[in-house]
Amino acid sequence: MDSVTAPPLDDLDQALLNQLQRRVPLDHRPFSVLGERLGISEQECLDRVGRLKAAGMISRLSTVFDGRALGYRSLLVAMRLPAARIEQAVSRLRTYPGLFRCERRDDAFGLWLTIAVAPTESLDRLTRILHTMATAEETILLPSLKAYKVPQDPWTDRPNYPTGERIPLGAAPLNDQDVRWIRTLQEDLPLMELPYAVWAEQAESTEETLFAWMRKFENHGAMETICAMSPRPAGAMQALAAWDIPGELLDSLAEQVALFRDVERCDRRPTYPSWPFALVANLQATTDHGCRELAKRIAERVGPFPGRLLMRSQTYLLEAPKYFLPTLDQWWIRVAQSIEDRVGPTGPTTQRSTA
């Protein structure tokens, strides 16, 4: 499902939801802190959060990590294959633990994926395996080469910072305890008086150590916040608009596109013989017609350059990425290796970028 229909909220529910979407307090009793801010008891706060989750307003309370700071690469992938094979391709591709977004669009490149590629994974090898799994005719990789605008959602595809860099974690690799913390903190925060104590116990540590680790990773930009993950509002429509713009004009026109309020993100991405569109923008509107009208207004600003509008016709998967999953190693052994045993380690090739 793409979205949920929100039930009526009273003022306290809305205020609580706003607080949770910004940040869950790093405190031994976070729901007591939230309740005190809103003038309600800890138990009433817990009850209201439970009702918001049951109503689908919150999918989970979880930690948002910056995958790039952890050594991950976030990558947009487009696949061309017959429409009749898309459903089967999706069923196979969903076994890959690094897949966190999968959508169908009205285009020859009908299947669009966003994947989180682990530091230990070979991108070329992974791409060949996913291409084979989907029985795709062509697979192209569309990383962000330059981000002109990034989305508000903290967990969507964001491979590049638009300005500057975060403070690096340092040359030392993540240790086993770091990975244990990351795996634990990606799960749903328990709805109880001392939720962080549960997380600490699961990671075989203490609350004090947990809070110190979280503050360290937050200071270095590897951890962004812990907050409520909420579904998209009902009726939200989304489209990709792409233009073939000469390189010398790309930056100036991309900056103009990024100024449109309903453009969620705007990037320069690689081009291919079958995909000559260097400027790609994500459009958001309340209706299909609204997306098309927005694309027309942007095209008037961009000028007479070839373009393409790809409406989203179905969402198969849309969730926050998770990092260092133990199932990833299992997937490489059980699924990826069996595919390579069948088609060979080189397998099919994907298109090479022309830019």
Mean pLDDT of 39-46: 97
Residue 348 domain flag? no
Residues 154 and 45 grouped into a single domain: no
**Global pTM?**
0.85
Same domain? 135 vs 36 = no
Residues in CB range of 100: below 8 A, 6 or more apart: 114, 115, 116, 155, 317, 318, 319, 320, 321, 322
Q: What is the pLDDT of residues 174-213, one digit of tens each?
A: 999 999 999 999 999 999 999 999 999 999 999 999 999 9
Determine how many CB atoms are found less than 10 A away from the CB of residue 43.
12
In this structure, the answer to whether residues 289 and 250 fall within a common structural domain is yes
If asked whether residues 40 and 122 sit together in one domain, one would say: no
- At 240-295, the pLDDT tens digits run 999 999 999 999 999 999 999 999 999 999 999 999 999 999 999 989 999 999 99
Residue 8's pLDDT band, with cuts at 50, 70 and 90, is confident
48 and 91 part of one domain: no
**Where is pLDDT greater, at 225 or 5?**
225
> Would you call 293 exposed, middle or buried from its count of C-beta atoms within 10 A (0-12, 13-18, 19+)?
middle
Percent of the chain with pLDDT over 90: 78
pLDDT above 90: residue 36: yes
**Quick one: pLDDT at residue 153?**
53
Say if residue 102 is in the same domain as residue 25: no
Q: Do residues 41 and 159 both lie within one domain?
A: no
DSSP 3-state percent helix, strand, coil across the chain (nearest 5): 40, 20, 40
Q: Domain with 39 in it: what CATH number?
A: 1.10.10
Cα 296 from Cα 268, distance rounded (Å): 20
- Give 2: exposed, middle or buried? Use CB within 10 Å, 0-12, 13-18, 19+: middle
Residues 240 and 147 in one domain: yes
Task: Determine, yes or no, domain membership for 189.
Answer: no
Is the residue at 300 inside a domain? yes
Please choose, from the candidates 25, 24, 79, 51, the residue with its C-alpha nearest in 3D space to the C-alpha of residue 227: 24
Residue 51 lies in a domain: yes
Q: Does any domain span residue 211?
A: no
Q: Which two tokens stand for residue 77?
A: 């992938």
What distance in Å separates the CA atoms of residue 212 and residue 201, rounded to the nearest whole number?
Answer: 15
| Residue whose pair of structure tokens reads 């360290």 in the numeric block | 216
Q: DSSP H helical segments within the chain, as ranges? A: 11-22, 30-38, 42-54, 86-93, 123-134, 176-185, 195-202, 207-219, 247-258, 288-302, 326-331, 337-343
Q: Judge if 74 and 48 occupy the same domain.
A: no
The confidence score (pLDDT) of residue 156 equals: 38
What is residue 153's DSSP assignment?
Answer: S
* Number of structural domains found in the chain: 2
97 with 39, same domain: the answer is: no
Regarding whether 290 and 159 lie in a shared domain, the answer is yes
- Check which CATH number belongs to the domain holding 278 and give it: 3.30.70.3460
Given a cut of 70, is residue 21 above it in pLDDT?
Answer: yes
Range of the domain at 304: 69-163+232-318
According to DSSP, residue 203 is labeled T
* Assigned domain for 213 exists: no
Cβ partners under 8 Å of residue 138, min gap 6: 79, 80, 109, 274, 350, 351
Is 324 part of any domain? no
Query: Using CA atoms, how far apart are residues 331 and 347, in angstroms rounded to an integer?
Result: 18
Whether 265 and 157 map to the same domain: the answer is yes
pLDDT surpasses 50 at 54: yes
Tell me if 339 is assigned to some domain.
no
Q: Which range is least confidently modeled, 5-14, 219-228, 275-284?
A: 5-14
